[in-house]
A and B are shown apart, each in its own frame.
Chain A
Amino acid sequence: MTFNHLNRRTHLYLALLLLPWCFMYGVSSLPFSHSQYFQEKFGKPEWKTRFERTYEIEIPPESDLRQVGAQILKDNDLEGSFGVYQPNPERLNIYILGFISPTQVNYFPLEKRLVVADRTFNWNVFLTGMHARGGFQQESFLSDAWAVIVDIVCISMLIWIGSGIYMWWRLSQTRFWGFAALGGGVLSFGVFLWGL
């Protein structure tokens, strides 16, 4: 197997393996770039209450909110990767991540009340949620695995650039216009960097 052959196969098979991510990142960029249109088209997501119950847990002033959040989820038979924040002393919000239907857990310490709600499916939020998902801060194996794949997609993009430039270089009849396109792109990008 020659290097040229290896280069072409790597370029192709890597692209086929990561095709769903390429489609997803491409399509999900549209609601970011045209947010107003997509919000008008798909509306705001709605939350449907799953249950509401009396519940009590102490939240000391300097406590680790993530630990408190994990305990609340455990006590109420809820699970999943989550984020937690306390907008004010009267409320603690936990957001259980999920591409299709994430869950919101609102705890009201003064009222000793817990409300759990699921978000109805919304294309706009589904796409942007997938696009923005990443990072290794969750304790879940699958969340870390998703973050590893995000890294693999990024490294693959670098490989596609390198292997693509190599394939172009081997086609001597396209060199002139290829140079023009590459040079034009680099120049335009430079103008944006300087002028934006």
Chain B
Amino acid sequence: MYLALFLTPWVLMYALSTMAMNHRESFKKIYGEGPSPFVKEQELPYGASFPKDAPPSLIAQQVLSDLNMQGAHRARMSPDGLKLIINRSGPLWPRRITYTPAEGKILIEKQAFRSNAFLESLHRRRGFQSDYLLDDAWAFAVDLVIVAMIFWAASGLWMWWEMRVTRLWGAAFAVTGIAIFGLFLVTI
């Protein structure tokens, strides 16, 4: 019970985000095709200099640190090699930071909020591949939800079996569920 209460926000998020993903076409009608557009937030001078052979990942980490925007991100050079593009993947407001070394400036753009994209990004966020502690803590919370789901299913079965009065109807529901699931397994 206490575990369920603690994990309530995650269960709520997974329920709503799964529904959003199950009804992607409806959201396309609301928001249109393609990802949410980026809107200019601010443009800043940035006078740092980096060695010519510095990898984009290293420059990106320094830029994010200087902007106080550390966190999970992906960095790549533009095809012409003149700009460094950093996608900082925050769940509420994903940002795109474009650093142009030749002009010594940084452009920060914020992705317009879309409820389905927000939920989907939380749903898809997982794994321990990030260098950031908070990302690892999130991945641990995701694992906790997974273990909890399996535990709830198993403990729920045990609690049901302990209540003699519900055994017959409970068995009927369980068998129906297993039969429907089995049918799907072999047909689709």
CA of A80 to CA of B157, assembled, Å: 35
Instruction: List A contacts of B146 (CB < 8 A).
Output: 26, 29-30, 33
CA of A189 to CA of B6, assembled, Å: 10
CA of A194 to CA of B6, assembled, Å: 18
Instruction: List B contacts of A44 (CB < 8 A).
Output: none
Q: Are B149 and A22 in contact (CB under 8 A)?
A: yes
Chain A binder among B13-21, B45-53, B79-87, B97-105: B13-21
Any chain B CB within 8 A of the CB of A110?
Answer: no
Q: CB < 8 Å: which of B16, B92, B153 contacts A26?
A: B153
Q: Are B11 and A157 in contact (CB under 8 A)?
A: yes
Q: Are A35 and B127 in contact (CB under 8 A)?
A: yes
Q: Are A195 and B153 in contact (CB under 8 A)?
A: no
Chain A binder among B55-63, B106-114, B174-182: B174-182
Any chain A CB within 8 A of the CB of B31?
Answer: no
Q: Count of A-B contacts with CB under 8 A?
A: 172
CA of A21 to CA of B169, assembled, Å: 19
Q: Are B141 and A13 in contact (CB under 8 A)?
A: no
Contact flags A84-109 to B (C-beta < 8 A → 1, else 0): 00000000000001111000000000
Q: Are B177 and A151 in contact (CB under 8 A)?
A: no
Q: Are A81 and B188 in contact (CB under 8 A)?
A: yes
Any chain A CB within 8 A of the CB of B54?
Answer: no
